[in-house]
Amino acid sequence: MVFSSLMFIFRFMPLFFLSYFLTPKSFRNLVLFVGSIVFYAVGEPVYIFLMLFSIFMNFCICVRLAREQRKSHRRWILFFAMLLDFGLLFLFKYFDFFAANLNQILNKEIVPLLNLTLPLGISFYTFQIVSYVGDVYTGKMKHPGTLLEFATYVCMFPQLIAGPIVQYQEVSHALRDRKTTLYDVEHGLEVFCFGLGAKVLLANKISIFWNQVQGIGYANISTPVAWMGAVAYSFQIYFDFWGYSLMAIGLGYMMGFRLPKNFNSPYMVKSVTQFWRNWHMTLGRFFREYVYIPLGGNRRGNVRMLFHMFLVWSLTGLWHGASWNFVLWGLGFFVLLTLEKCIYGKFLENGKIIGHIYIWILIPVTWVIFAISDFPQLVIYLQQMVGIHNQPVLVGREQLIRYAKEYGSLFLLCAVFSTRLPERIYHYIRGGLVVVILAFGIFWLSVYELANGANNPFLYFRF
């Protein structure tokens, strides 16, 4: 079930919130937990048991970890927890990838493929569980709480499938004692509607152009159309994921939870370093706090720092998917971040325009690498972007004009909404009748699009 579906909006959401608010406060965690299980069961009925097993085992591990004082024993307990969590993630997400590559290298099927379906949200809830265990181990969290609180934290449906990746401390107080005011419900509904609009009215619409580019065939597009396609996909993945995050934050707000912000106008920055401070912020925080810093960060010299960065960005790429294009995508960012850190980072930050041009050239290229898993096709597309493909089929002037007329206003709208202007306007009109009317209009326009069969998958659901 996805947030931008009529089933969620008109069936699950009303029934859940009616049950939730009619329930006494002391039982609302139970209602939220059961509701989240039902939400997950619609898409993954079999893998509910996998998630519940992981929750129960990790809670038991954390109880033992919190009581154990001997350092060597605590390390072994932590090792077992990491082996369990990452072992399950590896089994379902990466086993076939590595087995297939090993078989290909040896030119013999030594390791049989399992062909397991990837459980929805496993990458996200695994990271939340790992952060919880890590915080108990380091003493950042003294007491692991109750099993119901932990299970609700992991299963909470607003962030279960595609984040944001929430740390337990961010919701621990709300899990024990939260108050929801009428303002919270109103504000949460507004944010949900704006997220729905970003997904349905922007991401879904701009995806049509990217789908057309794929349909034409990468070998049959001109350089301008290749760049238009790359920019279109850049907008699509941003509004798709940002829209989902806004809907998650809005739903959390309605229940008294303050989920962390996941995006901060990432396309308006002047360097790749700044981009990753503003894109999928909770994922970046996880790798920084639970991988980069524990490895030593930048405290052990430049060579070790670069090795740590290499490891983090290799893992970041792999986290997004079991495919070599994701690894290449992650390593591409490692190279760009290294160059900025060592050579031209200050130049970009001090410049007024050059940094923005730099971002709007490089980021679409990285998204092309992200989007195309077939390496020969990826090479063709990148060649088309620079105009060096062996047999380019140039799109005529008339066709380019047609694309500009058909999609020009949509590209402009996406460009405007990728700036900080909409957020500033919202804060200016927030709390008034205007924002209510605006949210109401966006909601029903989005519903109209969904009722007419709008293309509606979330890109990050496959991660």
Q: Verify whether residue 320 is a known catalytic residue.
A: yes
Q: What residue numbers bound the domain in which 157 lies?
A: 6-178
Distance between CA 13 and CA 6 in Å, rounded?
Answer: 10
Within a domain: 444? yes
131 & 30 share domain: yes
143 & 188 share domain: no
78 & 135 share domain: yes
Within a domain: 26? yes
Q: How many domains does the chain fold into?
A: 2
240 & 381 share domain: yes
Cβ 110 vs Cβ 102: under 8 Å: yes
Find the catalytic residue in 187, 280, 308, 320: 320
- pLDDT for 191 equals 95
Within a domain: 313? no
146 & 196 share domain: no
pTM equals 0.94
Tokens read off for 121 = 């949200």
- pLDDT for 141 equals 84
* Consecutive 10-residue averages of pLDDT for the chain (463 residues): 90 96 94 96 88 96 90 94 97 95 90 91 95 92 86 94 91 90 93 96 94 89 90 96 96 95 94 95 95 88 91 96 95 96 87 91 97 94 82 58 88 95 86 89 94 71 60
Which has the closest alpha carbon to 197: 451, 459, 450, 2? 450
165 & 202 share domain: no
- pLDDT for 412 equals 95
Domain final position from 128, 158, 178: 178
